[in-house]
Amino acid sequence: MSAAGRFITFEGIDGSGKSTQIRTLADSLRAAGHDVVLTREPGGSPGAEEIRRLVLEGDPDRWSAETEILLFTAARRDHLERTILPALARGQIVLCDRFADSTRMYQGLSRGDLRATVDQLHKLMIGREPDLTILIDMDPSVGLARAKSRETAEERFEDFGEPLQRQMRAGFLTLAKEFPDRFRVIDGARDIDTVAADILATVMADLA
Ligand code: ADP
Ligand code: TYD
């Protein structure tokens, strides 16, 4: 691995197993001697965690679609400046649960076609893509049933329901075709250990 570190993101619909799998991957990489930083979006730095509460809790109509893009991007900028870039500069592997591809899908697709706005703001304020993106893919009925079994206050986007999650799944698969160099699609509708082994093999091949 180069001294510049490696920036690896996890993407997928709600309940696809990202949080479960990213923790397992972090453990496996650490056991193999790698220096790993595990982080998430929205959040991952003190300021961005505050913004997380603003965007994920409360009335679904609290923000316009455009304001929401600004908030997610503001959180990302802080996270990038204070957590991701310093870790990469130290040569660490950064594992991040969601990143800009989630904004491209959730804010870019769900309330009108705002993908161009998301991309423009990304170019202006973030300008960094992951080195590798693990897309955990599955039928939304599986993911939604799993996500609903958790009880949290952060239910704004999970309440989208199945038709929109279906649109998200298709959107993520299209995104994987748009950025084939960094995307790897993993079948998430299998048991936890099988998915984990697949992800570990994919990441080890990338690091080799
Ligand atoms: P995400 O972070 O993508 O929303 P989670 O990792 O939180 O997904 O998983 C959602 C729920 O599904 C959790 O309760 C988790 O324990 C469970 N889960 C995750 N992966 C699997 C799997 N492969 N098979 C069955 N249940 C799973
Ligand atoms: P997350 O905690 O990953 O939820 P889950 O475990 O259910 O996948 O993310 C919280 C929600 O925030 C999720 O519904 C997706 C949404 N989100 C966006 O809408 N835009 C974004 O840019 C990001 C990073 C997340």
- Residue 36: both structure tokens together: 């790993």
In a domain, 66, yes or no: yes
Enumerate the H helices of 57-191 as residue ranges: 65-79, 85-89, 100-109, 115-125, 140-148, 162-178
Q: Which residue lies with its CA nearest to atom 14 of ligand 2?
A: 157
pLDDT in tens, 97-113: 999 999 999 999 888 89
pLDDT in tens, 24-61: 999 999 999 999 999 999 999 999 999 999 999 988 88
In a domain, 188, yes or no: yes
- CA 196 – CA 36 distance, rounded (Å): 17
- CA 71 – CA 74 distance, rounded (Å): 5
In a domain, 58, yes or no: yes
In a domain, 1, yes or no: no
**Secondary structure of 73-105 as H, E, C letters:** HHHHHHHHHHHHHHHHHCCCEEEEECCHHHHHH
Which range of residues forms the domain containing residue 42? 6-207
- CA 32 – CA 99 distance, rounded (Å): 25
In a domain, 40, yes or no: yes
Q: How far is the CA of 134 from the centre of ligand 2 (A)?
A: 15
Domain CATH number, residue 35? 3.40.50.300
- CA 187 – CA 199 distance, rounded (Å): 10
- CA 37 – CA 121 distance, rounded (Å): 26
Instruction: Please name the residues in contact with 175: beta carbons below 8 A apart, sequence gap of 6 or more.
Output: 101, 104, 105, 135, 183
In a domain, 114, yes or no: yes
Look at residue 157 in the predicted model and tell me its pLDDT: 58
Q: Is any ligand 2 atom within 6 A of the Cβ of residue 72?
A: yes
Look at residue 162 in the predicted model and tell me its pLDDT: 81
Q: Which residue lies with its CA nearest to atom 20 of ligand 2?
A: 103
pLDDT in tens, 140-155: 988 777 777 766 656 5
In a domain, 55, yes or no: yes
Q: Which residue lies with its CA nearest to atom 6 of ligand 2?
A: 14
pLDDT in tens, 106-140: 999 888 899 999 999 999 999 999 999 999 999 99
Q: Is any ligand 2 atom within 6 A of the Cβ of residue 68?
A: no
In a domain, 169, yes or no: yes
Domain count, the chain: 1
- CA 191 – CA 67 distance, rounded (Å): 38
* SS3 state of residue 171: helix
